[in-house]
Structure 1
Amino acid sequence: MLVKSDVGGNIDRLARSAATNPGRYDADILVIVEDEVQAGGAASSSSSTKGLLWLKRAMQFVTALPNRLTEDEEESLSAAASETYYATLQQYHGWIVTGTFTVALKLVPARAMAHEGPEFLPRLTAAFVELGTRDVLETREFADACVTVLPIFNYLGSVFLIARNEFSSKNNTVTVKNSPGRNLHRLMNSILFISLIFQNLANGQAMKEAVAESYERSLAPMHTWVVRAGIKTGMMALPTREDFLRALGETESSALTHMQAFVKATERVVQEIARLYQGVTMPRSDFTFS
């Protein structure tokens, strides 16, 4: 998340300063500040003095958040993080940074996520392998297969609540007579999104890289620039590759087989649906952050 990135940058700044004179600076970090003050460089935006000040401010946020969570066990992590941010860091930020944090904090993960059992990914893959063998995509079978996809969005974190909400709502109307064609189009792109993530992970990509590339190739064209910006910011809170696979109940080796099978099976399903939209410009999603 943004605080983590900022903290990491300021730690690196202090480490570089300490490395310039280890004998003088290793014993007491405040000596760096004293030297910068005497040299007249403490007020510089790139000074270690500023870096240390921002580390102190970030630590106020980091220590206040757990306290708030323990005081109210029913409060969501997103709400607790937002309130803590406005009580600690927000006073030091301009409106642009505050706006970025406000969006990002709406997308932090839930307090805890139940892990799927080791049968989840095989069940998901089997549903689409079976679907891919059909000469005709039957509506009920397609809808049932789509239901098995939903938990994936939970383990990508709240940043993709957009995709999950759209996927769930559109899937509920697949069987309704005369339902809009855009619902099927949204479902197709959501399936493609998951398939591309699996393909990228199978190719050895890190989680953030795999998700970001998959998003650009599938869901991003349907979203307004505001939603795209919010999602890209929220990607800083994605789980690691290891945590994602663990949440799915898989190891690297066991996940590889199922992911490759899912990619192969969904390729035909996506192609069959995509043929229906050749030459058609679909409207963007009407999702907004509220």
Structure 2
Amino acid sequence: MIELDIEQDCVRQDGSHTRNLLRVLRGLNMFRVLYEEIIKSDGNSVRDAAEVAYEKVFAPHHSWGVRRAVESGKDTLPTKSQLLKSLNEDEGSAKVEMQSFVRIIGPVIQYVEELFNSMQLGIDW
């Protein structure tokens, strides 16, 4: 798929499979960092965890306007207890699921990043 985009010289074009794969990669990485932050926090703040995850994963690729919009919307995020209730999870079961996701998705993220880098595409675009 990536090789075809390279052949067609459309890797960075809107809608290319490669660009979409990079966006999926960032989404998975966002959840990985979010879950890591939630797991390690003692507090009840999903907002703080989401802010850290956003700053690490998406903010470097967003314009000033998008970053401001995200900043203004963070107050609408649920508390940890609200999130767990909406997911029909308790603290213990959610932690197990989040840890499982983090453990499983790490190698997937690493593989796709290495794939991009092996083709000299990088992931910072």
State the TM-score, normalized to the length of structure 2. Answer: 0.78
Greater C-alpha radius of gyration:
1
Structure 2 residue ranges without an equivalent (≥5): 1-13
Structure 1 residue ranges without an equivalent (≥5): 1-169, 174-178, 284-290
Partner of 2:21: 184
Residue 222 (structure 1) shift: 1.9
Residue 281 (structure 1) shift: 5.6
Looking at structure 2, the residues matched to 191 and 245 of structure 1 have their Cα atoms a distance apart, in angstroms, of 20
Looking at structure 2, the residues matched to 252 and 200 of structure 1 have their Cα atoms a distance apart, in angstroms, of 14
Residue 195 (structure 1) shift: 1.2
| 1:259 to 1:239, Cα distance in 2 relative to 1, 3 A | same
Residue 225 (structure 1) shift: 1.2
Looking at structure 2, the residues matched to 242 and 183 of structure 1 have their Cα atoms a distance apart, in angstroms, of 33
Q: Which of residues 220, 225, 238 is equivalent to 2:59?
A: 220
Root mean square deviation, CA, Å: 1.9
Residues 164-199 of structure 1: per-residue CA shift (max 9 Å, x gap): xxxxxx9xx7xxxxx431110100010010111111
| 2:54 partner letter | Y
Percent identity at matched positions? 29
Q: Does 1:270 align with 2:109?
A: yes
| 2:111 partner letter | E
| 1:261 to 1:281, Cα distance in 2 relative to 1, 3 A | closer
Residue 245 (structure 1) shift: 1.1
| 1:282 to 1:203, Cα distance in 2 relative to 1, 3 A | closer
Q: How many residues align?
A: 107
Partner of 1:229: 68
Residue 231 (structure 1) shift: 0.1
Question: Is the Cα contact below 8 Å between 1:191 and 1:266 reproduced in 2?
Answer: yes
Structure 1 consecutive aligned stretches of length 4 or more whose deviation exceeds 6 Å = none
